[in-house]
Structure 1
Amino acid sequence: MTAHNGAKALDTRISPYNLALVLALCLGSLTYGYTFSITSTTLGQPGWYSYFHLSSDSTDPGYTSTKRIEGAMNGLFCAGGFFGCIFVAWSCNALGRKRTLYVASPLAILGGAIQGGAVNIAMFLVGRFIGGLAVGILVVLIPIFQAETAPPAARGFLVSQHGVVLVVGYSLAAWTGFACFFSKNLNFQWRYPLAQQCLWPLGLLVLTP
């Protein structure tokens, strides 16, 4: 291999189109990180406990029931993610990457909307399962789609943005929950952070075409 050919093989230039495509797909990474993390702040919001008549006091007889509901929140989310991962293994080939995004994004919006608008704990838990199903699809699909559309020499840099933005989602969820904790409106305190998870998949859905 000549020096010229070697330099060409290692060309890491990234076109604006490649960058825009990868960053648009990162909205799916942000959806995963935020959706995964946001209920950790919900469990610190007094408004959530008071609305659903739950107890955060370990000396209260109803505390055991609260712990079961909290366990169900996490368990159903993980169960949804499990089924999402199984689905995406089939749909990536059967439907294609882009059509699979058209499945995952509306599911993520629906899950966030149900959680943010929940009027009883059963509705909240259903929303959590749907949210898990959506992000189970996205967390597998996004890096695959990014890798297949990135130039080989710059693939490591571009696909690593999935991990970077995923962690940004964790941080954003934490700061959103922290800020809303100080709201005097107890409903806004827990509903807004949950409803905000609809924004990222909505952006992804708009940009998918």
Structure 2
Amino acid sequence: MKIGLYFGTFNPVHIGHLIIANHFAEYSDLDKIWMVITPHNPFKKKKTLLDNHHRYQLVLEAVEDYPKIEASTIEFNLPQPNYTSNTLAHLQEKYPDYEFSLIMGEDNLRTLHKWKNYEILLENHAIYVYPRIAEQANPDRHKLLEHNNIHIVDAPVVEISATFIRKAIKAGKNCQPLLPPSVWRYIDEMNFYRS
């Protein structure tokens, strides 16, 4: 089975995440997409994150009607901060019959060389890349795009950010259209991001 790993803090998960995950589930050779909720991204400040279990619940709510997409807590019990190479080593040990690939935005590909053991990731795993408007306009698009394990997928370009949503909620703006209805209800009931 081919599993696409879509890592993120999903703080909160929004329709842009779902559009991308569903596109890979439906229009690639991946059998399943696991949305891996990252407890602590080494490049993000932890204080801005909702608790792990709340972000997991939000993703569970978001993917409820998508049989090819699952919420994954695989990183919750791994040493912090999380590094993708460590997570993949753990997954390969736990699921030896699965083939794991990474799903990332083209902006993340630009910083891949800063990731721990990125050469091993690149050599041993397919990396499915979805476009970003800023990267498409860049005349010096990343050289890694030519690597055999890099697959550019013509996925929809969705410019929605969780940061924007958090700020909008804090400012009292209505951002319901940017969130799956069940995710909005959970956030609203729990008063998340309001202060």
Q: TM-score over 0.5 for the alignment?
A: no
The structure whose Rg is larger is 1
Structure with the bigger percentage of helix: 1
Q: Using CA pairs under 8 Å that are at least 6 residues apart, name the structure with larger relative contact order, 1 or 2.
A: 1
Q: Which has the higher strand share?
A: 2
What TM-score do the two structures reach when normalised by structure 2?
0.25
